[in-house]
Chain A
Amino acid sequence: DGGITQSPKYLFRKEGQNVTLSCEQNLNHDAMYWYRQDPGQGLRLIYYSQIVNDFQKGDIAEGYSVSREKKESFPLTVTSAQKNPTAFYLCATQPEDWAGYTFGSGTRLTVV
């Protein structure tokens, strides 16, 4: 089955640590996106990538970094510079015709 796999499902981070969230897809979609979901704020775009080895900042990129070395993979690193990292993180892909996103199941990050 084609789809998106996000791991881990739950992640706990100590303050000052960097953590990396995984997003893998086998849909053969070029475009991949990372969103952050907070209650009452909807989905806010962190980073996106339209092609391998290229990515752009979204609306709230500060404190985050990404890489896109393979078409299938778009990992997100939450750095210690992110002041309020506790949130639900969603990865999505989209086919070339901009026909809408397919979402992964998300990673819930908690800073302890």
Chain B
Amino acid sequence: AQSVSQHNHHVILSEAASLELGCNYSYGGTVNLFWYVQYPGQHLQLLLKYFSGDPLVKGIKGFEAEFIKSKFSFNLRKPSVQWSDTAEYFCAVNGRGSTLGRLYFGRGTQLTVWP
């Protein structure tokens, strides 16, 4: 079975600090990887995704993530966070070729940015 681990449950940063949120997954085959964000009071929206090609993917609002296959990781980064980045972040994976197509989610990381 597939699973996703997000090691940071709550991260607190000051504005302009750099961000890295960890995500590791377990799956024996080829995967599609996603980061979703949930701003306070809003629905989940896609931040970025990786299917193939360049392992460094760029998303909206200055976020990027790097797929490291040997480490089964897909960490999310941002060089300089803003107060408006305060949200909950979810890493997700689905196994390519899986007939189910369902996403497996991590437990989420709550990011709080102080102005």
What sequence of 0s and 1s flags, for each residue 83-112 of chain A, a beta carbon within 8 Å of any chain B beta carbon? 000000010001000111111111000000
- Please state if B90 and A33 are interface contacts (CB–CB under 8 Å): no
Determine whether the beta carbon of A48 is less than 8 Å from that of B43. Answer: no
Residue among A33, A41, A99, A106 with the highest chain B CB neighbour number at 10 A: A99
Q: Across the interface, do A100 and B102 meet the contact criterion of CB distance under 8 Å? A: no
User: Do B108 and A103 touch (CB < 8 A)?
Assistant: no
- A residues 43-100 touching B (CB-CB < 8 Å): 43, 45, 48, 50, 58, 90, 94, 98-100
In the complex, chain B residues whose CB is within 8 Å of the CB of A103: 36, 43-45
Total contacts A to B, CB within 8 angstroms? 50
- By the criterion CB–CB under 8 Å, are B45 and A42 in contact? no
Assess A101 versus B103: contact at CB under 8 Å? Given A40-B9, A42-B90, A90-B43.
yes
Residues of A within 8 Å of B49, CB to CB, are: 99-100
Instruction: Evaluate contact between B43 and A98: CB separation under 8 angstroms.
Output: no
Check B17 for interface membership: any CB of A closer than 8 A. no
CB of A23 within 8 Å of the partner chain: no
Is B112 among interface residues, defined by CB-CB distance under 8 A? Answer: no
A24 to B51, CA, bound (A): 28
* Contact A43 B105, CB 8 Å, known A98-B94, A98-B96, A100-B49: yes
State how many residues of chain A have any CB contact under 8 Å with chain B.
22
Cβ-defined contact, B101 with A94, below 8 A: yes
Partner of A100, one of B32, B42, B100, B108: B32
A31 at the interface (CB under 8 A from B): yes
Enumerate chain B residues within 8 angstroms of A98, measured Cβ to Cβ.
32, 94, 96, 98, 101
Answer whether residue B34 sits at the interface, using C-beta atoms and an 8 A cutoff: yes
> Is A40 a contact partner of B43 (Cβ separation < 8 A)?
no
Q: Is the beta-carbon distance between A50 and B101 smaller than 8 angstroms?
A: yes
Provide the residues of chain A in CB contact with B11, threshold 8 Å. none
Can you list the 10 inter-chain pairs with the closest CB atoms, starting with the nearest?
A: A42-B107, A98-B101, A43-B105, A105-B43, A103-B44, A42-B105, A103-B43, A42-B108, A100-B34, A100-B49
Interface residue ranges, A against B (CB under 8 Å):
31, 33, 35, 40-43, 45, 48, 50, 58, 90, 94, 98-106
